[in-house]
Structure 1
Amino acid sequence: MGFQELLRDKVVLVNGGSQGVGAGIVRAAVGEGATAAFTGRRAEVGERLAAETGAFFVRADLADPAQAREAVEQVVAAHGRVDCLVNAAGLTSRGSLLDTTPELFDAHIAINLRAPFFAMQAAVRHLVDRGAPGTILNIITSSEHGGQPFLAPYVAAKAGLAGLTRNAAHAHRWDRIRINGLNIGWTETEGEDAVQRAFHGAGDDWREKAAKTLPMGKLGQVDEIADFVVLLLSDRSGVVTGSVIDWDQNVIGGLD
């Protein structure tokens, strides 16, 4: 995109925006005319992206609900308002039903469900107080439909986020706040590279091997997801709310 300015005059906050899918969304939002802000835990990574894009960086640990709420407040203080929120932060560490510890389970709930909940709470309160419309987009996962056995706590948290997306969209439709979710499939990111190496013994050629197993011959790409997110945040997506869209090359429910 980049030439349509779909987000002109919009202030967009991307949680978990310092790398991966979140960083791609920051770049796409800036390219479409938005005033962008993003959160991240690592100062050096966030400051590098801020310098590249001109986006406003808020250092925050979203596992702390107070920081998730305060990030919205900081962007409002800096730019006067927030019009769009993207929850892109995600924890994908592995655990099955049998080997997941309470600590691992709580970590997944903290990042993948609780952080979006309280960021949405702060953003919706702000929009309602302004009497203004807005849009929220939650990055979820196609695995929320069931997923692999080694993703048990991840699936539990993300399935909760899918339900929360629909609940909040219904609750705030009369406030003209549109809330949608995107169930992304296997995507090529820095974080996925680290996970493949740490948990699956992957080598440098894991992307090429993975691509051969996929119908479209490639992993999902960050820039493609980011363009889709921009569309859903923008007025061009019309009245759509409460939708959790499967953005994947494998068809949920399809059997060979």
Structure 2
Amino acid sequence: MDLTSITELDSPRRAVVTGADSGIGRAVAVALAAAGCDVGITWHEDEAGATATADEVRRLGRRAEVEHLDLTRLPEAADAVDRLADRLGGVDVLVQCSGTGSSTLLLDLEFEEWRRVVSTDLDGAFLCLQRAARRMVDAGSGGRIVNITSVHEHQPRVGAGPYCAAKGGLGLLTRTAAIELAEHGITVNAVAPGEIATPMTGQTDEHPREDRAGHQRPGVPLRRPGDAREVAAVVAFLCSRDAGYVTGASWSVDGGMLQMGPMAGSHLASDDWRRP
């Protein structure tokens, strides 16, 4: 097999990447640009970050368009997908990286906080998926949709009830969309990261190493957080022509975290896990 075909997409390709102002979203936007995509970039709070992402895309010789996306304002927020598609001349790829979370025990959780997280992470993702998928179907050329979920699509976390509920729901939405859109040549997959070294987790975008202070993770088999570019590489593959027979799957990018199961539980030395 020609290994270059794993990341090179048929040209021209038009991608929309939500939440691309930093972290995983920025890494995905750059990886898709390197694979031949023009990229539509959305941001919520960090316009300067989105501009920096766009500059990286343009340095790779691809077109970049930037649009504000506020998923607390639904359903009209999803108009951003249509506006980017119009400016790019269509949309062949959608990667959804936007999201938010919480750190409150269920007994203390206010309904407003529950709705804020679930609405942003699940309702917003559904609406953006629907907008992009309608355009892909109308164009008749197939497409790729990748939803960034989390290891908490599959396993719970104390203090993250609405986040886990939304990511679990997004995982099943991914699988439902995969079977509904398959006849149109559109694949739909999820990528489920573990702890990734990004500003969102209070870290930098520098590649983490297990021997670097602050990066040791004894509970993770690979012993370190992940790098956003490692997530982006999986996304780029799922958006490539070589992934044309992959749909309805959830790809864990977690250093083996999900495999720990009882290994983690049976070796805990304190009750600290009961607190967010």
Q: What TM-score, normalized by structure 1, do the two folds share?
A: 0.88
Structure 2, gaps ≥5 residues long: 59-63, 204-211, 264-276
Match of 2:22 among 2, 19, 42: 19
Secondary structure at 1:251 match in 2? helix
The answer for the alignment partner of 1:251 in structure 2 is 258
> What residue number does 1:202 align with?
none
For residue 199 of structure 2, the aligned residue among 167, 170, 190 is: 190
Residue 11 of structure 1 aligns to which amino acid in structure 2?
R
What is the letter of the counterpart of residue 52 of structure 1?
Answer: E
Measure the CA separation in 2 of the matches of 1:14 and 1:216.
28
Match of 2:71 among 53, 59, 62: 62
54-63 or 80-89, which moves further after superposition? 54-63
3-state SS in 2 of match to 1:138: strand
- Compare CA radii of gyration and give the structure with the larger one: 2
Percent identity among equivalent residues? 29
Matched, 1:224 2:230: yes
For residue 241 of structure 2, what is the aligned residue in structure 1? 235
Match of 2:48 among 44, 48, 68: 44
Please state how far the C-alpha of 1:141 moved relative to its aligned partner.
Answer: 0.7
Equivalent residues, number: 246
For 2:107, the equivalent position in structure 1 comes to 98
| Aligned ranges 1:112-123 → 2 under 5 Å | 112-123=121-132
Shift in CA distance, 58/2, structure 1 to aligned 2, threshold 3 Å:
farther
Give distance in 1, aligned partners of 2:6 and 2:139.
Answer: 30
Q: Structure 1's 133 and 37: CA in aligned 2 closer, same or farther, altered over 3 A?
A: same
| 1:73 aligned onto 2:56 | no
Shift of residue 217, structure 1, vs aligned partner: 2.0
Alpha-carbon separation, structure 2, partners of 1:34 and 1:85: 11
Moved more, 48-57 or 31-40: 48-57
Q: Which runs of 5+ in 1 are unaligned?
A: 195-205
- The equivalent of 1:30 in structure 2 is 33
* TM-score (norm: length of structure 2): 0.82
Provide the C-alpha distance between the structure 1 equivalents of 2:213 and 2:196, rounded to a whole number of angstroms. Answer: 10
Instruction: Name the aligned partner's letter for residue 235 of structure 1.
Output: R
Distance in 2 (alpha carbons) for counterparts of 1:102 and 1:7: 45
In structure 2, the CA distance between the partners of 1:133 and 1:115, relative to structure 1 (3 Å rule), is same
